[in-house]
Amino acid sequence: MSGVGKGVAASSIATVLQARGLNVTAIKIDPYINVDAGTMNPTEHGEVFVLKDGLETDQDMGNYERFLNKDLPAINYMTTGSVYLSVIQKERNLEYGGKNVEVVPDIPLEVIRRIKKAQSVAKADVVLIEIGGTVGEYQNILFLEAVRMMKTEYPDDVAVVMVSYLPVPGSIGEMKTKPTQTAVRTLNSTGVFADMIVARSPVGVDRKRKEKIAKFCNVQVENVISAPDVSSIYDIPLHYEQDELSLQLCKILGLSTRKVVDLSAWKRFVNRSKNTNDVVKIAVVGKYFNSGEFVLSDVYLSVLEAIKISAYALNLRPEISYLSAQDFTDATNLKSLKKYDGVLVPGGFGKTGIVGKLNVIEYVRKNKIPYFGICYGMQLAVLEYAQHVLKLQGASTEEIDPTATHLIIGVLPEQREKIAQKDMGGSMRLGQYEARLKKGSLARKAYKADSILERHRHRYEVNPDYVTQLVDKGLVFSGTSPDGRLMEIVELPATEHPFFVAVQFHPELQARPLDPHPLFNAFLKASYEAD
């Protein structure tokens, strides 16, 4: 079942294995035809997570990086589309030597090739692979076939963990194991047999239920892991270890069980997250929050996690409000922003909510409410400054009005050609780039470094033609590309504003529980301290 938490289950398993001193890497397999997640609408698919080398992926990759506290390479993410694409490209390159290329075995073999490659790139002791979707659906059958083939070839080196849901229907209040039994049977019909069952349920699974599941589902009772609902996903590794998940998995995989599990740093982080200390109130002003009756905070998942992680590091309790930019199109609503300690405008694309975001930025700049702008939130901060401080009539961004008199934000000449050829993906700046930080700036103070590496995902840039004018009127470009052409960080001097910092990149992608992001730390500290 989707939404049952396979991603965090996989991440948590990775964490507890890593805590045994094993070198762990993690792969996500998405059953979509989309070659990557870049073209998917965030309201349908959630956040697009960008890897260091620029691949646009599913948000689960972000969970893996946060839980493992390491960067993962592009080879660790695949979709049905990307696998088919490489098989077809190889066929076109005559790499199959004239033989018939077939769905089975050639598609699963390509999947296996990628898994092995990921292992060798990471020199991993364990490769954790999450197969998206549900057993019994058509879409992931070829990935299950890859599992079957691998298990046949390396019977002692492959362990299959099934994440299954055990409902407790409100009317009877009793946990039901039948759906799991059915799911196991469906899995078995693909030739794949589970070694371990992670039993997701509203409540913990007791010994009696475990025995029942073990008996009906062909697993040892020690290999039924209780995985109740928890208030924070970061509790999950600790829950798994109560059932000795890492020990059992090591036994199944024939790995040494002598090393003790060291989750002390993780435990310290979790304990801090449960504190009841002072609150810091942050408003995130985005455009994707509302979908019918629901608030879709998944779209900004990494931003929300980055805020929480930094708040915990500062021993603060974050209270995050999701505000719709569209609600601020009317300036009378702006006063409500006064109740927040800090305001963050995250990344975004297109026209929707733009007026509202610009209004919000103008308000927090003038009212000295701490502001943190990310990507679009940076471009719009620069645009707002051009409109209201430089008073440039007809200032805009090329994304909204390509014919505007003053294109403060625009496409650089080198990208223009690609866009003309409708190579929209190719025109994006994706992945990690270096930025140099200005002496004496807030950014440099926060990072405690003069050069940084951050991940990008955007098409437009601050137009270099306007930089001098903006600087003359007090805006500080405190981070630029090494050649000085691309504006990476903009801020207002500390004498003007308690905290007004906006960045062209996505710092949230590198915020991790055991390594909080310096800019989020600085933003939250300033928010908490400001009057």
Between CA 113 and CA 524 the distance in angstroms is 44
Complete DSSP assignment for 120-134: HHHT-SEEEEEE-S-
Which residue has the closest beta carbon to ligand GLN? 347
The length of the chain is: 531
Burial class (CB in 10 A: 0-12, 13-18, 19+), 112: middle
From residue 153, how far is each of 37, 124, 347 by CA, in Å?
A: 32, 19, 45
Count of chain residues binding ligand GLN (CB under 6 A): 11
Cα-Cα end-to-end distance for the chain: 47
Q: Catalytic residue at 508? A: yes
Q: Catalytic residue at 414? A: no
- Only one of the segments 18-26, 158-166, 278-286, 458-466 lies at the binding site for ligand GLN (rule: CB under 6 A); that segment is 458-466
> With binding defined as CB under 6 A, does residue 457 bind ligand GLN?
yes
Question: Smallest distance from the beta carbon of 303 to ligand GLN, in angstroms?
Answer: 11
Complex with ligand GLN: residue 87 or 303, whichever CB lies closer: 303
Dihedral of the alpha carbons of 97, 101, 107, 110, in degrees to the nearest 10: 0
Buried b (16+ CB within 10 A) or exposed e, 78-100: bbbbbbbebbeeeeeeeeeeeee
User: Which distant-in-sequence residues (6+ apart) come within 8 Å of 430 by Cβ?
Assistant: 50, 54, 55, 56, 456, 457
> With binding defined as CB under 6 A, does residue 209 bind ligand GLN?
no
Burial class (CB in 10 A: 0-12, 13-18, 19+), 447: buried
Complex with ligand GLN: residue 22 or 502, whichever CB lies closer: 502
Which one of the listed residues 250, 454, 508, 517 is annotated catalytic? 508
Could you give the count of Cα atoms lying within 13 Å of 336 in the half-sphere of its Cβ?
Answer: 14
**Closest among 476, 482, 529 to 503, alpha carbons compared:** 476
Report the residue from 444, 458, 512, 525 that binds ligand GLN according to the rule CB under 6 A: 458
Question: Smallest distance from the beta carbon of 372 to ligand GLN, in angstroms?
Answer: 13
Report the residue from 47, 145, 384, 399 that binds ligand GLN according to the rule CB under 6 A: 399
Question: Smallest distance from the beta carbon of 282 to ligand GLN, in angstroms?
Answer: 18
Question: What letter would DSSP give residue 119?
Answer: H
**Displacement of CA 491 from its chain's centroid (Å):** 26
Question: Smallest distance from the beta carbon of 121 to ligand GLN, in angstroms?
Answer: 27
Name the phi and psi angles at 224, rounded to 5.
-100, 115
Report the residue from 114, 459, 497, 525 that binds ligand GLN according to the rule CB under 6 A: 459
Buried b (16+ CB within 10 A) or exposed e, 114-152: bbeebbeebebbbbbbbbbbbbeeeebbbbbbbbbbbbe
Taken in order 348, 354, 358, 363, the sign of the CA dihedral is negative
**Closest among 459, 388, 465, 10 to 198, alpha carbons compared:** 10
Question: Smallest distance from the beta carbon of 350 to ligand GLN, in angstroms?
Answer: 7
Q: Catalytic residue at 56? A: no
Between CA 422 and CA 416 the distance in angstroms is 10
Which one of the listed residues 375, 384, 461, 497 is annotated catalytic? 375
> With binding defined as CB under 6 A, does residue 114 bind ligand GLN?
no
Complex with ligand GLN: residue 460 or 523, whichever CB lies closer: 460
**Number of Cβ within a 10 Å radius of residue 228:** 15
Site string for ligand GLN, 371-390 (x = CB under 6 A): ----xx--x-----------
Complex with ligand GLN: residue 377 or 518, whichever CB lies closer: 377
Complex with ligand GLN: residue 457 or 497, whichever CB lies closer: 457
Which one of the listed residues 406, 456, 497, 506 is annotated catalytic? 506
Question: Smallest distance from the beta carbon of 399 to ligand GLN, in angstroms?
Answer: 5
Question: Smallest distance from the beta carbon of 455 to ligand GLN, in angstroms?
Answer: 10
Complex with ligand GLN: residue 10 or 502, whichever CB lies closer: 502
Complex with ligand GLN: residue 26 or 381, whichever CB lies closer: 381
Question: Smallest distance from the beta carbon of 429 to ligand GLN, in angstroms?
Answer: 8
Site string for ligand GLN, 328-357 (x = CB under 6 A): -------------------xxx--------
Complex with ligand GLN: residue 59 or 379, whichever CB lies closer: 379
Q: Active-site residue numbers?
A: 375, 506, 508
The residues binding ligand GLN (CB under 6 A) are 347-349, 375-376, 379, 399, 457-460
